[in-house]
Amino acid sequence: MTDLIIKGAALFGEKTSDIVVRDGVIVEVVSTSSTTGRGSTTGTGSRVVDAAGLVALPGLVDLHTHLREPGREDAETILTGSRAAALGGYTAVLAMANTSPVTDTAEAAERVFDLGRTAGLVDVQPVGAVTSGLGGVELAELGLMARSRAKVRIFSDDGKCIHDARVMRRALEYVRAFGGVISQHAQDPDLAGSTACCHEGELSGRLGLPGWPGVAEEVIVARDVMLARHTGSKVHIAHVSTAGSVEMIRWAKAQGIEVTCEVTPHHLLLTTDLLGGYDPVYKVNPPLRPDEDVAALRDALADGTIDAVATDHAPHARHDKEHAFVDAAFGMLGLETALSVVSEVMVTSGAMTWTDVARVMSQTPARIAQLDGHGGSLLVGQPANITLIDPAAVVVVDRDRSVSLSRNNPWHERKLTGAVSATFLRGAQTVADGELV
Amino acid sequence: MAHAQSDTPHARDDAPEATVASDPANDRANDRANDTATGRTVLDSGDISRALTRISHEILERNKGPEGLVLLGIPTRGVHLAQRIASRIHEVEGHAVPVGALDITMYRDDLRKHPTREPQHTSLPAGGVDGKVVVLVDDVLFSGRTVRAALDAMNDLGRPASVRLAVLVDRGHRELPIRADHVGKNLPSARSERVMVRLDEVDGYDEVRIALADQTAEGPVGAK
Amino acid sequence: MNKNLLSIEDVSADDIAAFFATATEMHDVQNRSVKKLPALRGRTVVNLFFEDSTRTRSSFEIAGKWLSADVINVSAKGSSVSKGESLRDTVLTVAAMGVDGLVIRHMASGAAKQVSEWTDAVVINAGDGTHEHPTQALLDAYTLQRRLGSLEGRHVVIVGDLTHSRVFRSNVLCLAKLGAEVTVVAPPTLMPSGIVAWSKDAGFATSYDFDDVLPKADAVMMLRVQRERMNGAYFPSAREYTVGYGLTRDRLAVLKPDAPICHPGPMNRGLEIAADAADAAQSAVLDQVSAGVAIRMSVLYHLLAGEGGQA
């Protein structure tokens, strides 16, 4: 007996088909016209989801999420973050290591992994710290994390740049033993003062805000692709934000260097001029950049130079954002709105197809993270991790309707076209009609 | 900016219905046309001149001469009246009575009820007011609140031997126990009426008119 | 006129004229034996200073007291982060005491603007980080106007650490509104990023060469340079800075004899300004201080006396 039939969805926005799911696995995919009136595989107890007018994609995978647990459960927990992820169409997220305590041991990684499985809404895959306590000096127990039940493959000191070239080199070399990848937060701290809080440019000059220039990111990207070439290891550049970084990565890929990178939804749409009112909701690291960088990032995402869209979902308790701008916390929410932003910016504009969206928001991220069962192609035999999208839905973001514990939502009151309608994790529906099940 | 131009006397406490006026210099012709269309003239140029002459003589009589006198006008039109009185005294006595200006803007009791007004210039004669006989000069005496404010302002500037009050028009309706020592014309009026004083130095002609307030809702300059 | 004074950008040329006209009257009050006006009787003004500044705080305090306001100084030194209290909580706590006006000094740019969004009280920016210091710009322009008459077409040269100067940022805006031509002078490392585009847009000029612009100056404004900037590699040594950008005795000889010399204080004598220049007859430094009280009285009066100032 089948568990579920998703009827009439446009697979990757193209062929309209029915997807038949049994025991969490796709068992049949047939074009809608051929199943009409037939009941060969349709048992009487099957649940039918009407997906007419919706686009079906493999469940989304986020390479870059901050779930705040353990340590800041007032801002987000693995459960609330999982809810936000499911609502955003995700079936797997990678949880960054900068929690308190830091995810720098096998035990810490397994705890995050287990809490994710207990929540059961998305697969929460821990990212391990590269250096002990994110200190940037001694390597964390990378091998033990990789051997643990959590099978950590991505390592990152995100929030901090691995600044010491020697440490970066050793980390790249070391993780080759188990096929790990180092995700770098590319930002030279010497080119940004300790109080830097925005893009350095004309606006920061006028506002009197200490900024950091695009070159602070670009010099580290340049260094790390050369280190990746030297070591033959894989490096991943997190949240690329400048045209210069994109150029560097495009060059490196052409050389055959194993570099991948991601861009956040906010760097695809929001620009530095939003800082004019000193609203800390727009304070993020890397900072919002000018129009020309945004344009370069969109082009690079469309042409494949940028491999993935990752949210850098960074919830913060209200009081951590109610400081003076330079003192307020960095980061913004992203899980619930990412698909809508990509739809608005890349699909509605015609720059990308839904097949491309599947590539950058599901398949490539799953490949980079080496997540089995995610980022499939909606083929028979694959786990039924599926996201249904209403491409015509127009949503006005309301931060108070968010299921995140935090409200640092830069998308509040913004109108976006395209929205997640339903999410299935191994056949179990987590979201229906845009609401948690 | 939203502030009332404070060289419009009607912006003071005697006219709670204060309206914002535009630059008087530009609008003189219009105002005059507007004035003559509404209300009636109660003092013409000659009446004003005779009233000021009489007041000047009264001041001298009361003071037994010009010695120790200081005339302090309340801006804007009070200052010009004080100067006219001083020049008449000079004609009669050959003695220059010191004239000053006493702005009362910051001493008003209704500062908070209106948008902020710009203060006017206060200037005391070189000898100050200590021990002097100060004659406050204003155009219209109405509620008495302006004079109350002027007495407070004077208190911060010195200690005169005595203070007297001279006004061109007393229109009644006092709200404080204040009376004028020298009055050009007592003008019984209804509260709903407005009294408008025009002086050549400010408005280009001399006249006092009275009109119903609602007839002058457009806000001619100098209504009280 | 805006409810708050957060930035010179929010102030029109008419507003500036009104501030100056009232300041002129307030200046006279400083010479009276009874230095008291009743305009702000019953109003409460809090000087909320997150950063030490004896001179600005005293100036606001005297201004408020001469207008009969109740003035309370609250020192909240150090960032709110280190105290574990958010800036918003600090401000709401103070405002809850029944405050009509909040004079705020903070080491973070934008703090006054943020505060104004959290409280109904009138907010006056007494310096926010490296952003603006609007009352300083008003008193500077007022001082220059008293010395020079109209500033229309007059050439004002501002020299020093522009990157870290809120005085510079407020002054270029204010002087532009008054029709002055402004040239700002600094080594490239002490010019804010993007200043070339900004200056074109805002109508002021930039230069690395003090000696080139000095003879044409109708007024010079020297900014304080912190000696510690050497540590950030902004310039090699104090000596080299002085030679390039200080108002030295030699430069004083080149400056027009009637060109006022301004400095917001505190002065680093011998670094950005020679003693001869600081004490010259054409120095306006002490005028600036007395103008500071008059301007702040004017600002407090305009923002707090009328109905618009009702909290």
Mean pLDDT confidence for B160-182: 96
User: What residues of A are annotated to the active site?
Assistant: 312
Residue A309 host element (H or E):
strand A308-309
Contacts of B111 in chain C (CB under 8 A): 39, 305-306
How much is the pLDDT for B220? 40
Domain with A34, as residue range(s), is 4-56+382-436
Name the fold adopted by C8-129+289-309.
Answer: Rossmann fold (3.40.50)
Query: Any idea what the CATH number is for the domain that residue A102 is in?
Result: 3.20.20.140
Cα–Cα dist B222/B202, whole Å: 10
Contacts of C132 in chain A (CB under 8 A): 208
How much is the pLDDT for B39? 83
Residues A10 and A110 in one domain: no
Q: Which residue of B has its CA nearest to C31?
A: B157
Note the ipTM here.
Answer: 0.91
Mean pLDDT confidence for A341-347: 98
Query: How far apart are the CA of A29 and the nearest CA of chain C, in angstroms?
Result: 55
Residues A275 and A406 in one domain: no
Cα–Cα dist B131/A123, whole Å: 92
Q: B112 and C28 in contact by Cβ < 8 A?
A: no
Q: Which residue of C has its CA nearest to A326?
A: C108
Query: Which of C110, C121, C135, C10 is CA-nearest to residue C50?
Result: C110
- Do residues B76 and B5 lie in contact, with contact meaning Cβ atoms separated by under 8 Å? no
Residues A223 and A329 in one domain: yes
CA C218 to mean position of chain CA atoms: 20
Query: How far apart are the CA of A196 and the nearest CA of chain C, in angstroms?
Result: 12
Q: Which amino acid is at C209?
A: D
CA C207 to mean position of chain CA atoms: 22
- Do residues A375 and A362 lie in contact, with contact meaning Cβ atoms separated by under 8 Å? yes
Query: How far apart are the CA of C204 and the nearest CA of chain A, in angstroms?
Result: 13
Write out the two tokens for C197. Answer: 């585009």
Interface of A with C in 311-340 (CB under 8 A): 319-320, 322-327
Q: Is A278 on the interface with C (CB under 8 A)?
A: yes
How much is the pLDDT for A19? 96
Residues A300 and A422 in one domain: no
Cα–Cα dist A80/A202, whole Å: 39
- Give per-residue pLDDT as tens, A211-238: 999 999 999 999 999 999 999 999 999 9
Angle between helix C134-148 and C13-29 (nearest 10): 70
Residues A280 and A416 in one domain: no
Mark which of A317, A340, A369 sits at the end of a domain: A369
Chains adjacent to B (≥3 CB pairs closer than 8 angstroms): C
Mean pLDDT rounded to a whole number for chain A: 95
Q: C32 and B157 in contact by Cβ < 8 A?
A: yes
Residues A387 and A277 in one domain: no
Nearest to A205 among C108, C128, C193 (CB): C193
Q: Is A353 exposed, middle or buried (0-12, 13-18, 19+ CB in 10 A)?
A: middle
Question: Which of A207, A272, A275, A289 should be substituted to probe chain C, the one whose Cβ sees the most C Cβ atoms within 10 Å?
Answer: A207
- Do residues B4 and B117 lie in contact, with contact meaning Cβ atoms separated by under 8 Å? yes
Mean pLDDT rounded to a whole number for chain C: 93
- Give per-residue pLDDT as tens, C79-131: 566 677 899 999 999 999 999 999 999 999 999 999 999 999 999 999 999 99
Query: Which of A64, A74, A70, A118 is CA-nearest to residue A96?
Result: A64
Residue A396, pLDDT above cutoff 90:
yes
Q: Is A400 exposed, middle or buried (0-12, 13-18, 19+ CB in 10 A)?
A: exposed
Residue C287: how many CA atoms within 13 Å on its side-chain side? 20
C134-280, which class in CATH?
A: alpha beta
Query: Which of C59, C90, C106, C91 is CA-nearest to residue C300?
Result: C59
Sorted by sequence, the CB contacts under 8 Å of residue A34 that are 6+ apart come out as none
Q: Is B79 exposed, middle or buried (0-12, 13-18, 19+ CB in 10 A)?
A: buried
Using DSSP's 3-state secondary structure scheme, residue C159 falls into strand
Nearest to B114 among C15, C32, C307 (CB): C307
Write out the two tokens for A229. Answer: 């070439």
Model confidence at A44, pLDDT cuts 50, 70, 90, reads: low
Task: Check for a shared fold between C8-129+289-309 and C134-280.
Answer: yes
Q: C108 and A325 in contact by Cβ < 8 A?
A: yes
Q: Is residue A376 part of a domain?
A: no
Contacts of C1 in chain B (CB under 8 A): 1-3, 116
Q: C18 and B118 in contact by Cβ < 8 A?
A: yes
Interface of C with B in 23-52 (CB under 8 A): 25, 28, 32, 34, 36-39
Q: Is C140 on the interface with B (CB under 8 A)?
A: no
Q: C88 and A319 in contact by Cβ < 8 A?
A: yes
- Give per-residue pLDDT as tens, A100-128: 999 999 999 999 999 999 999 999 999 99
Residue A300, pLDDT above cutoff 90:
yes
Mean pLDDT confidence for A29-43: 61
Using DSSP's 3-state secondary structure scheme, residue B222 falls into coil
Mean pLDDT confidence for C159-176: 96
B9-191 CATH: 3.40.50.2020
Q: Which residue has the tokens 């990678």?
A: A94
Residues A243 and A125 in one domain: yes
Q: A323 and C87 in contact by Cβ < 8 A?
A: yes
Across B39-75, b (16+ Cβ under 10 Å) vs e yields: beebbeeebbeebbbebbeebbeebeebebbbbbbbb
Residue A180 vs residues A104, A152, A226, A239, B210: alpha-carbon distances, Å? 15, 8, 18, 19, 94
Q: Which amino acid is at C151?
A: L
Higher pLDDT, C32 or C267: C267
- Do residues A320 and A75 lie in contact, with contact meaning Cβ atoms separated by under 8 Å? yes
Q: Is B109 on the interface with C (CB under 8 A)?
A: no
Chains C and B: 3 or more CB pairs within 8 Å of each other: yes
Model confidence at B30, pLDDT cuts 50, 70, 90, reads: low
Residue B12, pLDDT above cutoff 60:
no
How much is the pLDDT for C107? 93
Write out the two tokens for A218. Answer: 């670009």
Q: Is A415 on the interface with C (CB under 8 A)?
A: no
Residues A363 and A393 in one domain: no
CB neighbourhood size of A273 (10 A): 14
- Do residues A32 and A5 lie in contact, with contact meaning Cβ atoms separated by under 8 Å? no
Mean pLDDT confidence for A121-148: 97
Q: Domain count for chain A, please give it.
A: 2
Cα–Cα dist A23/A30, whole Å: 18
Sorted by sequence, the CB contacts under 8 Å of residue A298 that are 6+ apart come out as A268, A345, A346, A351
- Do residues A236 and A266 lie in contact, with contact meaning Cβ atoms separated by under 8 Å? no
- Do residues C308 and C3 lie in contact, with contact meaning Cβ atoms separated by under 8 Å? yes
Residues A12 and A141 in one domain: no
Residue B19, pLDDT above cutoff 90:
no
Please, what's the largest Cα pairwise distance for chain B? 48
Chains C and A: 3 or more CB pairs within 8 Å of each other: yes
Q: C301 and B113 in contact by Cβ < 8 A?
A: no
How much is the pLDDT for A39? 45
Q: Is C13 on the interface with B (CB under 8 A)?
A: no
- Give per-residue pLDDT as tens, C198-210: 999 999 999 999 9
Cα–Cα dist C287/C278, whole Å: 12
Query: Any idea what the CATH number is for the domain that residue A45 is in?
Result: 2.30.40.10
- Do residues B155 and B170 lie in contact, with contact meaning Cβ atoms separated by under 8 Å? no
How much is the pLDDT for A109? 98
Contacts of A74 in chain C (CB under 8 A): none
How much is the pLDDT for C310? 36
Q: Which residue of A has its CA nearest to C166?
A: A208
Q: Is residue A264 part of a domain?
A: yes
Residues A106 and A192 in one domain: yes
